[in-house]
């Protein structure tokens, strides 16, 4: 059934920014599977990294916060077509659905382990539980939800001090909420949850996005919207710079002078993502808001290639994980690895041995190939969603 033309209207700046971060996100995941040191060392380890490797990882720090923030904005905009009860039910259902997808579908794509020895809780789980919380809060005035989001973002790092006094022994519920950083939670013999994204700060980002969503409605002129975005982004960026310079509250890992001036600067911007610190959120969301302000002037025909990915982010996300991992399996056999090498020692990613892959040039070439392969599939699905009304399209 074709959609009415009125339902096809989109906020182009949101689609373009979301498409941009989806493309950049794929770079990080290609690096996870194909860079030769990805399983053995961190690309932000200042003792061993190179500037290019550092920035290859660092630029992708903007992806998850921007994506979660825009998910909150989209929740507000889509909710305007529903009454409060229907929006509440929708957010609860979609949140539960995303958690299921994370555990059952996305985890399998990451691991290729049909026995699910490791269940990975990453960004999709964090978005899912944040949507459930937002669904329960949807009855509150939007400005109250915005304030809750800001309070969580600004003060969740106070929990760091209590975690230190307890030596990290805070219990499963606290781990799920805030402390977990690649925490392995055993739930059955030889089966664990690998907690990468504790939900509390991500929930704060989503609530912030929901509260900001009202400026993308017809009640705000384009000029007023851009002014709010530029001012808000600048305030976030200023908060980051002041707190990071103060070097106490805002990030649990302090920066310090390094062997060169460049590496000292890398230390300054090397922020904590797991869980996302106040400094990390302030920088990434500040930049996202400023970019939204600049992109607010673009037309429908601008950045057409990038926009396709931004219109079908969930479809792209699931598909790109399976594609990247499948390409890793192909290289696994081409390079002569055998059955004994399928399960690596340092990661849960099957068919990704610890000694495997290419240098950065190979990673960037494969990243380009992945984007080119996925573009026609995403374009087809975007066209399908645009021209059809089916209940399940709201969940994919």
Whole-model pTM: value is: 0.94
pLDDT at 240: 98
* pLDDT reading at 7 higher than 80: no
Mean pLDDT, rounded, for 146-175: 94
Instruction: Give residues with Cβ within 8 angstroms of 155, minimum separation 6.
Output: none
pLDDT at 181: 82
pLDDT band at residue 2, thresholds of 50, 70 and 90? very low
What the block records as the tokens of 276 is 């996302």
Q: What is the pLDDT of residues 10-68, one digit of tens each?
A: 688 999 999 999 999 999 999 999 999 999 999 999 999 999 999 999 999 999 999 99
Report phi then psi at 11, rounded to 5: -95, 105
More confident residue, 137 or 180: 137
Mean pLDDT, rounded, for 301-305: 89
pLDDT at 90: 94
Tokens 């984007």 belong to 371
pLDDT at 297: 86
pLDDT at 5: 36
Distance of CA 257 to the CA centre of its chain: 30
Question: CA-CA distance, 292 to 285, in Å (whole number)?
Answer: 10
* pLDDT reading at 9 higher than 60: no
Q: What is the pLDDT of residues 348-394, one digit of tens each?
A: 999 999 989 999 999 999 999 999 999 999 999 999 988 877 777 77
Tokens 């699931």 belong to 318
Of 77, 99, 64, 205, nearest to 145 by C-alpha is: 205
| DSSP SS3 for 286 | helix
* pLDDT reading at 4 higher than 90: no
pLDDT at 3: 43
H helix intervals, the chain? 12-34, 51-58, 63-79, 84-101, 107-111, 123-137, 142-155, 159-165, 172-174, 199-212, 222-246, 261-269, 278-295, 304-311, 313-334, 360-387
Instruction: Kindly list the distances between the CA atom of residue 261 and the CA atoms of 59, 119, 214, 335, in Å, as whole numbers in the listed order.
Output: 20, 41, 43, 40
pLDDT band at residue 201, thresholds of 50, 70 and 90? very high
Instruction: Give residues with Cβ within 8 angstroms of 31, minimum separation 6.
Output: 38, 43, 56, 57, 363
């Amino acid at each position: 059934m074709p959609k009415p033309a009125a339902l096809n209207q989109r906020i182009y700046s949101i689609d373009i920014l979301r498409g941009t971060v989806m493309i950049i996100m794929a770079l990080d995941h290609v690096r996870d599977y194909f860079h030769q040191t990805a399983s053995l060392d961190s690309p932000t380890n200042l003792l061993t990294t190179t500037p290019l490797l550092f920035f290859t990882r660092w630029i992708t720090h903007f992806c998850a916060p921007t994506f979660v923030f825009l998910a909150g904005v989209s929740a507000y905009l889509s909710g305007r077509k529903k009454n409060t009860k229907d929006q509440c039910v929708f957010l609860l259902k979609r949140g539960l659905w995303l958690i299921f997808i994370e555990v059952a579908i996305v985890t399998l794509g990451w691991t290729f382990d049909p026995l699910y020895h490791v269940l990975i809780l990453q960004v999709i789980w964090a978005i899912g539980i944040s949507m459930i919380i937002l669904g329960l809060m949807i009855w509150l005035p939007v400005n109250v939800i915005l304030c809750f989001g800001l309070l969580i973002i600004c003060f969740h790092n106070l929990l760091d001090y209590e975690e230190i006094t307890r030596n990290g022994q805070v219990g499963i519920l606290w781990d799920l909420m805030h402390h977990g950083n690649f925490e392995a939670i055993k739930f059955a013999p030889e089966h664990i949850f690998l907690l990468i994204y504790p939900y509390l700060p991500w929930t704060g980002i989503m609530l912030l996005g929901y509260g900001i969503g009202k400026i993308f409605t017809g009640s705000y002129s384009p000029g007023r919207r851009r002014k709010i975005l530029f001012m808000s982004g600048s305030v976030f960026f200023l908060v980051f710079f002041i707190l990071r310079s103060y070097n106490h509250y805002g990030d649990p890992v302090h920066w310090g002078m390094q062997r060169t001036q460049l590496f000292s600067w890398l230390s300054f911007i090397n922020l904590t993502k797991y869980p996302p610190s106040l400094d990390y959120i302030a920088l990434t969301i500040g930049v996202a808001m400023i970019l939204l302000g600049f992109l607010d002037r673009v037309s429908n025909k601008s950045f057409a290639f990038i926009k396709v990915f931004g219109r079908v982010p969930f479809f792209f996300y699931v598909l790109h994980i399976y594609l990247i991992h499948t390409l890793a399996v192909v290289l696994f056999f081409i390079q002569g690895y055998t059955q004994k090498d399928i399960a690596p020692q340092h990661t849960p990613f099957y068919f990704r041995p610890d000694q495997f892959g290419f240098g950065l040039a190979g990673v960037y070439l494969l990243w380009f190939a992945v984007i080119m392969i996925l573009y026609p599939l995403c374009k087809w699905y975007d066209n399908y969603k645009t021209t059809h009304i089916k209940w399940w399209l709201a969940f994919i």
